[in-house]
Amino acid sequence: MDDDATRSETRERDELLAFELSLDERVVDEVHGLPWGRLFLTPSRPLIWDSNWIAVEQVGLSVDQLVAIGDDALGGEGFGHRTIGFVDQADGRRVRETVEAEQSLWPRWGVEQTRYMVWRGGEVEPGTAREVRLAEIEGLRKALIDESMPADGGGAAAVDQLYELDRRYGEVAGDRWFVAPAEGEPMSACRLLRDCGGIGQVEDVGTLTPARERGYAKATVLAAIAAAQAAGDRTIFLTAEAADWPQLFYARLGFETVGEITILRRRP
């Protein structure tokens, strides 16, 4: 890839991250600007790691400095976890490579990589899914959250807190959910988050385990894309964990990776 193409992708990735940060600022309880970046806090949802996290904007910090920032900023607020994301893509890669090369120096810490994937597949017809509001699918949404939770994720209390977070996002970015099958009991869902700047994010894609491999997730994602296109969004994207299989599914549908964010995390 030539330098111009690389710079273009980096700009696109940065725009998508800025979209997410803007939503987060309106959804969390508190945002604190600090010399190294921003601290997002939601004391009302203490079990949700990604609502209580650090966005590092200063580049070049050592891993030890980052660990100290996490201990001070999140530990000082009483949180057992540490979640640190890097606004600068290259700096995140540097930190990830350092930790992976010398993991024994920070045994409780791990690095995660989330990819930004942009729709390149052209115009879409709505297909076999229907649009609903969150309150209409509370049971389904909570079941999907529960299935996706890690063993140490906080149980029923965390499910309730994540569901409340869904409601908050709906208030600031649109309460638009798409479910499949279109008739009968829905088994799969995703949501569309939007702002007034022409960006739409497909998020929270999930299918209940007994209903997988029936095309339901594809139907919901395509319905969300069609809705974003109908609303005039110039960019439609989603995020996917680099180490997990859904990224391959999204690539087959027509999404293209344009960048990533690195997360430095320590579990409670």
Q: What is the pLDDT of residues 91-125, one digit of tens each?
A: 999 999 999 999 999 999 999 999 999 999 999 98
SS3 25: helix
Phi and psi angles of residue 232, each rounded to the nearest 5 degrees, phi first: 95, 15
- For 156-203, how does the pLDDT look when each residue is reduced to its tens digit (9 = 90+)? 999 999 999 999 999 999 999 999 999 999 999 999 999 888 999 999
- The percentage of residues in the chain with a pLDDT greater than 70, rounded to a whole number, is 96
- Altogether, the residues listed in the chain come to a count of 268
* Domain edges within the chain: 3-117, 130-258
- For 113-122, how does the pLDDT look when each residue is reduced to its tens digit (9 = 90+)? 999 999 999 9
Pick the closest to residue 214 from 144, 141, 129 (CA basis). 129
Predicted model pTM: 0.94
- For 207-256, how does the pLDDT look when each residue is reduced to its tens digit (9 = 90+)? 999 999 999 999 999 999 999 999 999 999 999 999 999 999 999 999 99
Confidence of residue 127 (pLDDT cuts 50, 70, 90): confident
pLDDT value at 60 more than 80: yes
**173-212: buried (b, 16+ CB within 10 Å) or exposed (e) per residue?**
bbbbbbbbbbeeebbbbbbbbbbeeebbbbbbbbbbeeee
The single residue listed with the structure tokens 């030890």 is 64
Q: Per CATH, which fold does 130-258 belong to?
A: Aminopeptidase (3.40.630)
Pick the closest to residue 14 from 264, 243, 262, 259 (CA basis). 259
